[in-house]
Amino acid sequence: MGTPESAAAPAGPDEASISRTSPPPMSPQVTGCRGAGHGPKRLSRRMGQKKRIAEKELQQSPLDTAQSPSPKEPHLRPASSLGPQCSIYFSSPKSHPARLGTEFFDQPAIPLARAFLGQVLVRRLADGTELRGRIVETEAYLGPEDEAAHSRGGRQTTRNRGMFMKPGTLYVYIIYGMYFCMNVSSQGDGACVLLRALEPLGGLETMRQLRNNLRKGTLSRTLKDRELCNGPSKLCQALAIDKSFDQRDLAQDEAMWLEYGLLGPSRPAVVAAARVGIGNAGEWTQKPLRFYFQGSPWVSVVDKAAEQKNTQT
């Protein structure tokens, strides 16, 4: 992510032997040839022509030849323009080289929910501290047809407006009057992806402190690493995400963004299972619209039946 050879025509047999720095010395035998009376003038004209040709060739620079390539040579871009190019999925290359851009989010909810797995969510706090976590579990919500979605029937409200905004828009809502859940809008009106669990990668002690500040009950037990972000509300607590993030653009926001996570050939198998906590949604309660990395200790809920089915297929 060479410069072509000179495009000048090759020199003739006589021109090839001419020095490029000075005219050849006069041969004493020339004056003794036939027509000696006109020899000096003719010789002078020939020498003058050859000198001009040599000077013209010397004036031709490599830059000029790059601009006028030989028909036999491919025209290459200058070396300064070569090098790794930024993918269309990346944005803000100066500040966040690996940041995923709008094009990444602009896909239907199901493939987007799968694509989220393995990517790294980054949260920058006001003091500059960056918290990082790899996404290991998501849920897809398909919009008006989905009886479990907040946008079912095409219903638009002040609360769910983020679901109908451009792909990559955050939809943050509150449950039980105290916990937050974070979704990212996808392609299609009213469709989005819920981020359910992260594998903490950086800033774990800060995450632990943020979680402790909001925990109910005893604080005598220290939270284990796998307990920091293994649920949609826990994730929001650990990253200090609240309603103020609603309707922000994840492709452009300065306090939170998504980075490409390199997993390589060791990428775990993806399990498709029923969503969690879906009630009174008929057949939609059992649709396999939750996706997670099989064997990940960071997942919120493991579905053994779905894993077995996944292994068989």
For 78, which DSSP code?
A: P
Q: How much is the pLDDT for 313?
A: 60
**17: phi then psi, degrees, rounded to nearest 5:** -95, 0
Long-range CB contacts (within 8 A, 24+) of 40-45: none
Q: How much is the pLDDT for 109?
A: 98
Q: Are 135 and 121 in contact (CB under 8 A)?
A: yes
Rounded to whole angstroms, how far apart are CA atoms 161 and 137? Answer: 24
Residue 74's region, left for phi above 0, alpha for psi from -120 to 50, else beta, is: beta
**266: phi then psi, degrees, rounded to nearest 5:** -90, 15
What are the tens digits of pLDDT across the range 26-45?
444 433 333 444 444 454 55
Tell me how crowded residue 202 is: count the other CB atoms within 10 A of its CB. Answer: 14
Low-confidence stretches of the chain (pLDDT < 70) are 1-97, 216-220, 312-313
What are the tens digits of pLDDT across the range 179-219?
999 999 999 999 999 999 999 999 999 999 999 988 766 56
Q: How much is the pLDDT for 44?
A: 52
- pTM, 2 dp: 0.70
What are the tens digits of pLDDT across the range 228-256?
999 999 999 999 999 999 999 999 999 99
Nearest of 44, 46, 55 to residue 22 by alpha carbon: 55
Tell me how crowded residue 249 is: count the other CB atoms within 10 A of its CB. Answer: 16
